[in-house]
Chains A and B, each alone.
Chain A
Amino acid sequence: MKKYLEYLRKALKDPVIAMLASMLIGAILIIMIKENPLRVYMILLKGAFGSIKDVAGTLLQATPIMISGAAACLAFKSGIFNIGIEGQLYIGGFAAAYLGFAYNLPPVLHTIVALIASMIAGMLWIFLPALFRAKYNTNEVVSTILLNYVAVLITSFLTINVFKIPGGWSETPPVAETACLPHLFSFSRLNLGFVIAVFVIVAMVLYFKKTKSGYECIATGSNYSYAEYGGILTKKVMMRVMLSSGAIAGLAGGIEALGVHRRFMEGFAPGFGFDGVTAALLAASNPIGTAITALFFGALRSGSLLMEVETNISREVITVIQAFIILFISVNIVIKKRKSKGGQK
């Protein structure tokens, strides 16, 4: 038990410091907008944890961030910047929704098939960047970012031009009852997806700690040429990592589509993929840290809904705070690395 507490303390120390510093900068920004930062933060807190319903709302918002955070962890730990999680999430979400409304299958099986489809879709969406990264060293940051834009536009096209219900909003027909992820409580849209998210995080911890291929990922990420020298087929690892990362990101979209909206609509999961990337960066690709950061981001998101109603502050202030958290953390990581080299540089 003590060991785990120590582990937690280590994983959380830097993010917490960075978070507090960024909240301070956020406070300055809030004062400039002529609001009282203490009041704004209290409202944020109330919006996120004020009642059991709000807590469920926070967990609901955190679910896709946790899963896409896990996808980002896997890639970052292996030294690959999959910034295209947002796009993979959109494509995965659409694939799951499509399987949900276009086919009739028995319950449970329908859900499983739809979720698998979302994973395959996410995997396909990252296939070209992965192939070209592994084979020709094409920069994966640029290619995955550009594919985000394409994913959002293509899913919008499919939703509005191909599958739109006549006279309805910009959305597809609803997913069949058999494919939906069941809600956990009657008072919230919080669903089984949250449980899956926890599973994904646990699986990620075990994968890195206990399996050979998890070790190969870490080796490739921390020292590419050493890993290659040590007999690890780094290109194969790279390909495998990118495809799995895309699949997990797709799953995040599938869960959002089947659990929350129960259909696909334009702009259906704004920024969840990016929040996942941010969470993983913040936690230095530690899966548990990522999950905790995701919960924090979920709280910010759910709290900011109330903040927008009760104050003059837009929810994008949260994004500014997030940006500063990343900046502070980015320095922290480096200083730690330099220390561990025994002062060579």
Chain B
Amino acid sequence: MIFEIINIALISAAIRTTTPIFLAGIGGTFTSKSGIFNVSLEGQMLISAFCAVVGTYFTGSSIIGVLCGIVSAIILSLLFALFVVSLRANPIVVGLAINIFASGATISIMKAVFATRGSLISSNIVGLPAIEIPFAWEILGEYSEIISGYTPFVYLSFIFLVIVMIIFYKTKLGLYISVVGEKEDAAIAQGINTVKIKYISSILCGFFCGIAGAHLSLGYMTMFTENMSSGRGFMSLAAIAFSNAHPLKLFLGCLVFGFSDTLAMRLQGFGIPSYLILAAPYIVTLLFLFLITYKNRPRIIKETLETMQKALAR
């Protein structure tokens, strides 16, 4: 029985489920590092998923769809930054408002434009193509499924992971973002334009959430469903909280969620009711959040000191 559950298809499915959570998580690390608690990942993802579908529906091009999605998420992230950074409103309140807006706007526009409720499925929606890695089958045989045959953003998410690591740990921008988040007064004293840095990180957050959303509706599935982000933004938020916004740990955390989600789906075949299975990823996320936040807490102070020393040495 165990081999029926855990096999190659499971691993590749887990990678597929992980990708949207992880992409939104990358976005969230930017705002989190710059000291903004951003609850609006969920809403940004949702609006992008919708706009991506609308974009492809009317143009027939999945690339234009993805761009529409990214732009829509960036617009929401700018709205977020406008209220939180410039007008200094409470980020949780603004984030919740943005989530409510995204949910309401997508459903009402869907009804007004497409005259449907629930799901938007159409042959006009062109999904992102699955890409086979050349020679993967020849070299790995049946194991090639693990590294090949995904939609583009699954591969790109690994590249993004590397890029984001470089941004955070090797560039001035990354350092500035951390300093602004950890010790804003010191950043101001150093002459860093904190408002600008926070705007940049918000926009980057929107960019990655946009990709996450577009991937959800064009890569992971080829349709739009009401509230289809279904809490993935909050799972990313939990992963950010316990990974302390470290990209690699974040990826591992998201992988755990993706894996538990896929595993639960598999168990459906063994007579476990679907509602319990759907609840599994949230429960796993919660357990992780509870267990790891406490362990991570003392490290925050140490990291602040380290970054400060680096910033002063420059």
Interface residues of A (CB under 8 A from B): 29, 32-34, 81, 83, 128, 132, 135-139, 141-143, 145-147, 149-150, 153-154, 156-157, 160-161, 274, 277-278, 281, 312-314, 316-320, 322-324, 326-327, 330-331, 333-334, 338
Contacts and interface: CB of A to CB of B under 8 A. Distances in A.
A312 B116 CA distance: 11
B181 to A, nearest CB: 15
The CB with the most chain A CB atoms within 10 A, among B79, B88, B90, B104, is that of B104
Given A29-B108, A33-B112, A326-B93, A137 B297 contact: yes
A142 B97 contact: no
Contact of A149 (B105, B107, B230, B241): B230
Given A141-B39, A326-B96, A331 B101 contact: no
Contacts of B83: 327, 330-331
Contact of B100 (A29, A32, A139, A326): A326
Contacts of A281: 93, 96
B39 A334 contact: no
Given A142-B234, A333-B90, A154 B108 contact: no
Contact of A141 (B87, B92, B97): B92
Interface string B291-302: 001100100000
Contact of A81 (B87, B92, B111, B237): B92
The CB with the most chain B CB atoms within 10 A, among A322, A326, A327, is that of A327
B275 A160 contact: yes
B15 to A, nearest CB: 22
Nearest to A137: B297
B94 interface: yes
Contacts of A314: 107-108, 111-112, 117
Contacts of B279: 149-150, 153-154, 157
Contacts of A277: 96
B96 A83 contact: yes
Contact of B90 (A135, A139, A334): A334
B286 interface: yes
Interface string B99-119: 011011101100110000100
A278 B238 contact: no
A138 B289 contact: yes
Nearest to B79: A327
Contacts of B62: none
Contacts of B205: none
B276 interface: yes
B143 interface: no
B83 to A, nearest CB: 6
Contacts of B90: 330, 333-334
Contacts of A317: 104, 108
A331 B297 CA distance: 31
Given A157-B275, A334-B89, A146 B103 contact: no
Contacts of B57: none
Interface string B53-79: 000000000000000000000000001
A333 B88 CA distance: 10
B293 A139 contact: yes
Given A137-B293, A161-B273, A314-B107, 14 more contacts: A128-B290, A132-B294, A138-B241, A138-B289, A142-B237, A142-B289, A147-B286, A160-B273, A278-B96, A319-B100, A327-B79, A330-B90, A331-B83, A334-B87
Interface in B275-313: 275-276, 278-279, 282-283, 285-286, 289-290, 293-294, 297
13 contacts: A146-B289, A149-B282, A150-B282, A150-B283, A277-B96, A313-B111, A316-B105, A320-B108, A323-B97, A323-B100, A327-B79, A327-B94, A330-B87
Given A143-B289, A143-B290, A156-B275, A334 B97 contact: no
B98 interface: yes
Contacts of A323: 97-98, 100-101, 104
B273 A324 contact: no
B290 A316 contact: no
Contact of B294 (A32, A136, A154): A136
